[in-house]
Amino acid sequence: MPPSSDLLKDPNRLSSLNDLSVLDTPADKGLDHLAELVRSLLDVPVALVTLVDRDRQFFKSCLGLPEPWQTSRQTPLSHSFCQHTIHRDDFLAIADARSHPLVSNNSAISDLNVVAYLGIPLVTHDDQDVGSLCAIDHEPRDWSGGDVALLRTLASAVIQRLELMARVTELEEARREVGLTETYFRSLIERGMGAVTVMDREGTILYTSPNGEDILGMSPEQRKGESAFQWVHPDDISVAGRSFQALPDDPEGTASAEFRYRHPEKEWICIEGLGTNLLGEPAVGGIVFNFRDVTRERELEDLQVAARGGAELIRSLMTFSRRSQAGGLSAYGDLGYRDREGPGHADRRLPALLQHQARRAGHRPRTGDGEKDRPATPRLDHRRERTG
């Protein structure tokens, strides 16, 4: 009687079969060698390593089959004896299929010339029957206990090899995915607008992405092994150091900072970045600092502040002009002049007025400290954020 379709289509069994990743794959020399041992030791013309799928059987190794089966390496279940080994406790031995009630109507008898059959189930580590190792003879044959023992030993070697091959395939796919992921993120780092520096817990630079040279004016090789703080402006280094000081002891913590950095050609530039503690990640083993150059942004912000101050100044001067025309010298008093000074002193007091109006608008004039285009005072912030 045919096996229950529920057994053949059992989801757990089919899942284990798919996990082997062998369906519709090329023949394996190692399994062919085991099949050849079956043919030689049992003196049979045909030996098969069969995987029984939902509606067909696939031969991972097939030696001695007639065409077209030898080339196609599969048959429908109408030609399968191996399906009857599924969920058997031990083995299936058939001396003469033509008179055996289980398979006497099976098409393999006429199309594949299967007469005598001996099959051992292939059982995975999770106790699922996925197929069989079988020996086939074209003549009636009484299988001995020695034949069964020998085939059982070889079947054990077959399933071990199948599971080992599956594990190797899994590892190769994982390695390929890791390689693709590494290539992807390296591409993002190297081609992104920002750059990345990796430091150890003392702040020594372990790695700088290639695009960091465009920002900092130094090659990654020049920076490697140096302290990340040695190019930070002296007025900013203590604040930046305190901001990152807690990171090594705060797994997955972050710290953001903005500070002045000495560029070999541009003198001081303004750097904005975010540090993340990945010391505990084996693939990284450091504090990762993502950064970018915000010098131009800060200069534009200062210009906007100056523009607002200039607009306020213009409004004050227009008011001054109107009052001067309408009320004479009293208008000077509204702007801080003494009436006795009069309009003749306007040119002398105007610079002070400009400074006064700029301060009211929030604009900070540059100080003459010899630092060319020095960015504004740095903004630093330390915060701890845990992921997950």
pLDDT at residue 19, rounded to an integer: 92
Q: What is the phi/psi pair of residue 291, to 5°?
A: -140, 165
> Tokens standing for 333?
């008093």
3-class SS at 113?
coil
Task: Give the model's confidence band at 177: pLDDT under 50 very low, under 70 low, under 90 confident, else very high.
Answer: low
Non-local CB neighbours of 98 within 8 Å, separated by 6+ positions? 104, 109, 115
Q: What is the DSSP letter of 247?
A: G
Show the 3-state SS of 153-179.
HHHHHHHHHHHHHHHHHHHHHHHHHHH
**Spatial separation of the C-alpha atoms in residues 191 and 31, rounded to whole Å:** 47
pLDDT tops 50 at residue 334:
no
| Yes or no: domain 193-295+379-383 corresponds to CATH 3.30.200.20 | no
Q: Which of 293, 290, 294 is nearest to 198 (CA)?
A: 290
**Spatial separation of the C-alpha atoms in residues 322 and 328, rounded to whole Å:** 10
Q: What is the mean pLDDT of residues 181-210?
A: 73
pLDDT tops 70 at residue 2:
no
Question: Quick one: what percent of the chain has pLDDT higher than 90?
Answer: 43
CATH 3.30.450.20 domain extents, the chain: 193-295+379-383
pLDDT tops 60 at residue 206:
yes
**Spatial separation of the C-alpha atoms in residues 261 and 237, rounded to whole Å:** 10
**Single-letter amino acid code for the residue at 27:** A
Task: Give the model's confidence band at 189: pLDDT under 50 very low, under 70 low, under 90 confident, else very high.
Answer: low
pLDDT tops 80 at residue 219:
yes
pTM as predicted: 0.50
3-class SS at 314?
helix
- Tell me which of 28-32, 193-197, 278-282 is least confident: 193-197
pLDDT at residue 379, rounded to an integer: 46
Q: Which of 35-49, 82-96, 338-352 has the highest mean pLDDT?
A: 35-49
Q: What is the mean pLDDT of residues 167-194?
A: 63
Q: What is the mean pLDDT of residues 324-346?
A: 48
pLDDT tops 50 at residue 306:
yes
Taking all residues of the chain, what is their mean pLDDT, rounded to a whole number? 80
pLDDT tops 50 at residue 361:
no
Task: Give the model's confidence band at 178: pLDDT under 50 very low, under 70 low, under 90 confident, else very high.
Answer: low
pLDDT at residue 224, rounded to an integer: 92
pLDDT tops 50 at residue 174:
yes
Task: Give the model's confidence band at 29: pLDDT under 50 very low, under 70 low, under 90 confident, else very high.
Answer: very high
pLDDT tops 70 at residue 158:
yes
Task: Give the model's confidence band at 113: pLDDT under 50 very low, under 70 low, under 90 confident, else very high.
Answer: very high
Task: Give the model's confidence band at 41: pLDDT under 50 very low, under 70 low, under 90 confident, else very high.
Answer: very high
Q: What is the DSSP letter of 373?
A: T
CATH 3.30.450.40 domain extents, the chain: 5-171
Q: Which of 50, 57, 54 is nearest to 76 (CA)?
A: 57
**Structure confidence by residue, pLDDT tens digits, 372-385:** 444 444 444 434 33
Q: How many CB atoms lie within 10 A of CB 21?
A: 16
pLDDT tops 60 at residue 28:
yes
pLDDT tops 70 at residue 370:
no
Q: What is the mean pLDDT of residues 160-187?
A: 72
Q: Rounded to the nearest 10 degrees, how much is the dihedral formed by the CA atoms of 317, 321, 323, 328?
A: 130
pLDDT tops 90 at residue 102:
yes
Task: Give the model's confidence band at 185: pLDDT under 50 very low, under 70 low, under 90 confident, else very high.
Answer: low
Task: Tell me which of 3.40.50.720, 3.40.50.150, 3.40.50.920, 3.30.450.40 is the CATH number of domain 5-171.
Answer: 3.30.450.40
Non-local CB neighbours of 50 within 8 Å, separated by 6+ positions? 57, 58, 59, 60, 80, 82, 131, 132, 133, 134
> Tokens standing for 120?
């051992």
pLDDT at residue 322, rounded to an integer: 63
pLDDT at residue 238, rounded to an integer: 81
Q: What is the DSSP letter of 115?
A: -
**Structure confidence by residue, pLDDT tens digits, 287-297:** 888 888 888 88
**Single-letter amino acid code for the residue at 47:** A
pLDDT at residue 317, rounded to an integer: 66
Q: Which residue has the higher pLDDT, 244 or 143?
A: 143
